[in-house]
């Protein structure tokens, strides 16, 4: 296989070839490190590349496989993680000046589970500073650039994760999602991004943005790959107070069962308002196809949707300020302007605002459980109402509007804590990707992945690769 063919493989395909000893983990790792070397000066997806460590891990994996000690579907496969996760003896900058020289002492729980499964860690990926933004424009490390057009943003905050997976710099990546930070770059970069149910995946060793809204999840080229990663990542972590002790499914077992008999809700309001025409056309076509494949589609009302964005902000900003309070007092000038502004805004909220927002959250969860997910299995919406904007536009005075647009359809699902996924569903006439967002009831990642897989396999969008 050529290096180009190796970097175009899915995680599932590569895992099968390694297991059957038709592909060497060393060969696979070298191909991805070469791809990073070719593309990084332009895409800026990585903050730290751990090439020597990756080669050592690949050689160890190769020896284990040769000795008949195959650990599973991730063994010997090159993966990268957002630079918000601790990785032992590797710097964790969070995309900031403040932590530019910070070196992690231990692995985060997610990284430890990947290593235990035999994954090869290629390094740490670029992000919006402290994961506090939706564009991926970082004033300290530079913006991650979209592989479909490097003059455009990747979306954020898991910006490097989106760029690296889409460009073939790694087979898969981990991201975090507080208001859409996995699904937004997945949508804008034409890949799959999964936000599991809040508490499904441990956040221990991940620098928090907003502890009650943060999620950890996979970013991959296919839905099957996302299921493979979730199989490894999901499960209770007693050392993480937000980790839920809930049963974990075999996410691959029912992946190919299709959507026949599923009920998919289409929101009457909010989620299709002020949407780029090409985005709406692509998403509605995707929903039509799901119906043709045997799902029942019906229009639904979404309770409290007008109140949710403001309540989410009243939770996120004070929680973020609580994390950054000391640094904001001692080192405020070391923040980028946009992140410092958001943290300063957090100080304008009173305790009563925070409490009222959390009360509304309880009401919204109950209302969605009783009025929405009692009558449907999934909801379908655009992931983002717009596609990737040019970096200069997102950096200008219009940048705040770009951010508001990007998070509009994703952050209500963080507020609720339900699982949600973005899958590619088309391209604009400019050649920029469009994402379909599906969301399921709490803890039902199984149905979510099943529907996403059925749609993906009925289309060809996920097989497209950036020409650059």
Please name the helix (run of DSSP H) or strand (run of DSSP E) that holds residue 217, with its range, or none.
strand 215-220
Taking the C-alpha atoms of residue 178 and residue 176, their distance in angstroms, rounded to an integer, is: 7
- Contact between 411 and 384 (Cβ < 8 Å): no
- DSSP of 372-408, one letter per residue? TTTT-SEEEEES-SS-PPBHHHHHSTTHHHHHHHHHT
Is 195 among the catalytic positions? no
For tokens 């191909």, the residue is: 31
By DSSP bridging, strand 263-267 and strand 420-427 are unpaired
CA geometry: angle 421, 146, 276, nearest 5 deg = 60
Query: Taking CA 199 as the corner, what is the angle to CA 119 and CA 260, rounded to the nearest 5 degrees?
Result: 85
C-alpha span between 389 and 381 (Å, rounded): 20
For residue 206, the surrounding DSSP H or E stretch is none
From 158, 167, 181, 249, the catalytic residue: 181
Per the annotation, the verdict on 24 as an active-site residue is: no
Alpha-carbon gap, residue 451 to 401, rounded angstroms: 32
Contact 101, 61 (CB under 8 A): no
Candidate list 82, 124, 195, 203, residue with the active-site label? 82
User: Length of the chain, please?
Assistant: 468
Annotated catalytic residue, options 108, 157, 202, 447: 157
Q: Where are the beta strands (DSSP E) in 244-359?
A: 263-267, 296-300
Beta strands per DSSP E along 22-119: 46-49, 78-82
Among 212, 55, 188, 24, smallest CA distance to 123 is for 55
Residues with Cβ within 8 Å of 341's Cβ and at least 6 positions away in sequence, in order, are none
DSSP characters over 330-376: H-GGGS-HHHHHHHHHHTT--HHHHHHHHHHHHHHHHHHHHHTTTT-
Q: Give the residue numbers annotated as catalytic, written as ranges.
A: 82, 157, 181
């Amino acid at each position: 296989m050529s290096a180009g063919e190796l970097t175009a493989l899915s995680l599932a395909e590569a895992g099968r070839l390694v297991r059957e000893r038709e592909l060497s983990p060393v060969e696979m790792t070298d191909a991805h490190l070469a791809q990073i070397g070719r593309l990084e000066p332009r895409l800026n997806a990585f903050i730290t590349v751990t090439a020597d460590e990756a080669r050592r891990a690949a050689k160890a994996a190769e020896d284990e496989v040769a000795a008949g000690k195959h650990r599973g579907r991730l063994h010997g496969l090159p993966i990268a993680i957002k630079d918000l996760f601790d990785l032992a003896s590797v710097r964790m900058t969070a995309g900031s000046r403040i932590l530019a020289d910070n070196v992690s002492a231990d692995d985060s729980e997610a990284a430890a589970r990947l290593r235990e499964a035999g994954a090869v860690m290629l390094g740490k990926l670029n992000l919006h500073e402290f994961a506090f933004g939706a564009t991926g424009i970082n004033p300290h490390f530079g913006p991650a650039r979209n592989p479909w057009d490097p003059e455009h943003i990747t979306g954020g905050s898991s910006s490097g994760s989106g760029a690296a997976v889409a460009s073939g710099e790694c087979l898969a990546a981990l991201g975090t999602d507080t208001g859409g930070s996995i699904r937004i770059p997945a949508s804008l970069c034409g890949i799959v991004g999964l936000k599991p149910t809040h508490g499904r995946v441990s956040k221990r060793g991940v620098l928090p943005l907003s502890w009650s809204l943060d999620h950890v999840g996979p970013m991959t080229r296919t839905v099957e790959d996302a299921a493979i990663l979730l199989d490894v990542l999901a499960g209770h972590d007693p050392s993480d107070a937000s980790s839920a002790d809930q049963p974990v499914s075999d996410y691959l077992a029912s992946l190919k069962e299709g959507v026949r008999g599923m009920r998919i809700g289409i929101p009457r309001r909010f989620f299709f308002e002020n949407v780029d025409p090409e985005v709406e056309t692509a998403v509605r076509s995707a929903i039509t196809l799901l119906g043709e494949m045997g799902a029942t589609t019906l229009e639904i009302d979404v309770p409290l949707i007008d109140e949710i964005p403001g309540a989410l902000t009243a939770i996120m900003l004070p929680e973020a300020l609580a994390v950054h309070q000391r640094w904001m007092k001692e080192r405020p000038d070391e923040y980028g302007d946009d992140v410092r502004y958001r943290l300063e805004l957090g100080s304008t909220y009173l305790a009563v605002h925070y409490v009222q927002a959390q009360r509304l959250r309880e009401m919204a969860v109950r209302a969605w459980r009783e009025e929405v997910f009692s009558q449907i299995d999934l909801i379908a919406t655009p992931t983002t109402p717009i596609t990737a904007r040019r970096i200069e536009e997102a950096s200008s005075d219009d940048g705040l509007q770009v951010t508001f647009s990007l998070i509009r359809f994703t952050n209500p699902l963080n507020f609720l804590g339900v699982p949600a996924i973005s899958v590619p569903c088309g391209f604009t006439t400019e050649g920029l990707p469009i994402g379909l967002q599906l969301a399921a009831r709490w803890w039902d990642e199984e149905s979510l992945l099943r529907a996403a897989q059925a749609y993906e396999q009925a289309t060809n969008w996920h097989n497209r690769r950036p020409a650059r």
